[in-house]
Amino acid sequence: MIGYIESVINGILMGSIYGLTAVGLTLIFGVMKVVNFAHGSILMVGMFAAYWFITLTGLNPYLALVVVVPLLYFFGYYMQKIVIKPIFEAEKHVREPITVIIVTTGIWYVLDNLALLVFGAEFRVAQTSVTGKMIDIAEMYFPVAKLIGAGITFLLGVYLYWFLKHSRMGKAVRATSLDREAATLMGIKQSRIYNIVFGMGCACCGVAACVLVPFYYVYPTVGVPFDIKAFVIVVLGGLGSIPGAILGGIIIGIIETVGAQFMAATWTEMLIYAFFLVVLFVKPSGLFGLRQDY
């Protein structure tokens, strides 16, 4: 019995980190109605940045947050401003902008291959003060890095909630996601909101990257499995829904770790997609989805 409780909790810990990457994706989608296929690659960039920061400085691994999160924020901010915005504007009158999606896919390939070119295909593991450490709570064992990761994720969730609910900019972000044109009439500059939202979506990856690096391999295509999970989670939770993304992440995490008690890891993947299909079948708009027309 205790073994199951242990794996459920471990699932929640890992799932919250999946949820975190999904939050970034859903935030961007919710506001811009753009699927950022480069999301996993941005996570990968963040992981390499964190890896090198930790390896070169030898400082506490979580200090990497101070560098990596702003770095990815500005990376996303300027990626939207320089690469995505011009395409977006060219497609202003198009109801379902497709080109932007192709561009984010392009960015994914460029980033992954650049990483391969620069760092090579090898798997790296950062040696940090928490790597491999376990903690014993009520006769259950948990990796310290995952506990800290989930804690940081929780704090970020609280911050995002506060930002969107109460800050002036956050409200402008919500207004934009509800009605772009009406928001413009309020004096809200769309391109600025998009820059900020893209920056924040990428910053979420930055946080996820920093909490992953102490216990996860770093390699050029590390973003892909996270990316695929993030897409599943975003749709599962309801497109554009932040609580949905977090809950979806946790559910996926639990299925994965509890499933692993009974079967091989490849089968748990299947379990995830089976669950995903069932949810879509029963509630096509996702767990927290609104019947909103995107």
Q: Which residues bind other proteins (CB under 8 A)?
A: 93, 168, 171-172, 174-175, 178-179, 181-190, 290
Closest distance between other proteins and the C-beta of residue 294, in Å? Answer: 13
Which residue number, 85 or 171, has a Cβ lying nearer to other proteins? 171
Q: How far is the CB of 157 from other proteins (least distance, A)?
A: 19
What is the smallest separation between the CB atom of 272 and other proteins, expressed in angstroms? Answer: 30
Can you tell me the distance from the alpha carbon of 293 to that of 95, in angstroms, rounded to the nearest whole number?
12
Residues in CB range of 292: below 8 A, 6 or more apart: 240
Q: Which is nearer to other proteins, 183 or 246 (CB)?
A: 183
Nearest distance from C-beta of residue 289 to other proteins, angstroms: 13
Nearer to other proteins, 220 or 244 (CB): 244
Nearer to other proteins, 139 or 168 (CB): 168
How many whole angstroms from its chain centre is CA 151? Answer: 16
Name which of 178 and 270 has its Cβ closer to other proteins.
Answer: 178
Q: In the complex, what is the shortest distance from the CB of residue 247 to other proteins, in angstroms, rounded to a whole number? A: 18
Tokens of 253: 């995490």
The residue among 118 and 166 lying less far from other proteins, judged by its C-beta, is 166
Report the nearest approach of other proteins to the CB of residue 169 (Å): 10
Exposure b/e, 228-243, CB count within 10 A at least 16 = b: ebbbbbbbbbbbbbbb
Give whichever of 139 and 181 is closer to other proteins, judged by the CB atom.
Answer: 181
The CB-of-188 to other proteins minimum distance in angstroms stands at 6
**199/169 Cα distance (integer angstroms):** 13
Cβ neighbours of 52 (radius 10 Å): 18
